[in-house]
Amino acid sequence: MSAVSSLRLHAGAVLRRGRSRVAAPADSAVVAIPRGPDQARRAAVLAQAALSRLGGGVALGALPYEGSLDAVLRVAVRGGEPSSAAAPAGAEWRVTSLRPEPVPVDYERAVESALAAIEAGEAEKVVLARRLVVEADAPMDAGLVASRLASAEPGSTAFLVALPDGPSLVGASPELLLRREGQSVASDPLAGTARRSPDPARDEELARELLAAVKEQREHRLAAAAVADSLSPFCADLHVDAEPSLHATATLWHLRTAIRGTLKPDSPDALAIAAALHPNPAICGTPPAAAAALIRRLEGFDRRYYAGMVGWVDAHGDGEWSLTLRCAEISGSTAVLTAGAGIVAGSEPAAEDLETEAKFGPVLRALGMDPAAG
């Protein structure tokens, strides 16, 4: 089945990475996870209880960034194909306006404030996000948007999740937070970003510049070290790449560190381990408590599902969870996009604003816009 049809047919939740697909229809059993602290850890316990009660299956869905919302996971049989596959119709909407929140000058002021806090020793890194509110002249088809993202970003985890408070969450995350297969675990933290170029020679040059950039390397090392430190207690052995490598999406270069391990016999399931890794410096900062306090002071909005987790876990404990990035919440004719940039010593406010703009690009294209055309 094509990525297009497999991301369009279910109103519940659909996740796809490469040839792997997990889906649950809207009428599947639901695991409700009330808002509040340690929501992801509570979700792991409740999901396994539901899977045991139902005799197996897969629990899948999305969890908010900070547990600020009630959440649900849906339970379904993994890999089952729907009975019919209708090809998506052409887009019937046109984007009429874009509204940045905050406006670029205010976002850059927030970055300047974060840099002042870093210089004062309050934190080493903080990730500041901003939003883009997109309005159209007709309701947007979330399934079609998700399908376009899946086609444009084949190496990412594409997702379409019906949220309990109404909107549809769509996206294509490039960042694997945690994959568990038996006793093997993997995590691929990404931090450090550069735009790609359609010109092959220039694209290669940009990749080399990213690998050599001191600021980007500093930002990346903080993220990779934190993930390795959080994953280590669960593992009998753990291998961390000595140097970051390049990870390419359709439009961006990222720095990536591959982390691979073998779990101890008594280790918890994939969702419980993912909860222990979240939030990491790639989407929050370091030290975590100081970075979180700066985010609350400087961002000025609830991240909701942005920078949360999206994925699945089964009754055997296997599963895969990605950070909820390159995403939008779609409700009728409105889409709210969120993107962030990692701020460390040496960051430049205008460059960080441009980085968030680049991260909006894949979703804007899926909404039917050409970001280069403004």
Q: Name every residue whose Cβ is closer than 8 Å to that of residue 78 and which is 6 or more positions away in sequence.
A: 22, 57, 58, 312, 314
Closest of 152, 139, 143 to residue 87, by C-alpha: 143
153 catalytically annotated? no
Task: Check residue 211 and report its DSSP letter.
Answer: H
Half-sphere CA count of 328, side-chain side, radius 13 A:
29
125 catalytically annotated? yes
Paired with 73 in beta bridges are 31, 61
The total of other beta-carbon atoms located within 10 Å of residue 22's CB is 24
Structure tokens at 186: 């993997």
With beta carbons less than 8 A apart as the criterion, state whether 192 and 220 touch: yes
> What's the chain's length in residues?
374
With beta carbons less than 8 A apart as the criterion, state whether 319 and 177 touch: no
Which one of 175, 219, 320, 352 is the catalytic residue? Answer: 175
**CA gap 348, 49 in Å, rounded:** 48
Which burial class, exposed, middle or buried, applies to 374 when counting CB atoms under 10 A from its CB (0-12, 13-18, 19+)?
Answer: exposed
The total of other beta-carbon atoms located within 10 Å of residue 224's CB is 26
Longest dimension (CA), the chain: 60
Paired with 172 in beta bridges are 158
With beta carbons less than 8 A apart as the criterion, state whether 321 and 106 touch: no
Please report the sign of the dihedral spanned by the C-alpha atoms of residue 12, residue 276, residue 111, residue 355: negative
**CA gap 122, 115 in Å, rounded:** 10
Structure tokens at 292: 């979180």
Q: Name every residue whose Cβ is closer than 8 Å to that of residue 180 and which is 6 or more positions away in sequence.
A: 263, 269, 270, 273, 317, 318, 319, 320
Which one of 125, 153, 219, 352 is the catalytic residue? Answer: 125
Task: Check residue 167 and report its DSSP letter.
Answer: -
Active site residues: 125, 175
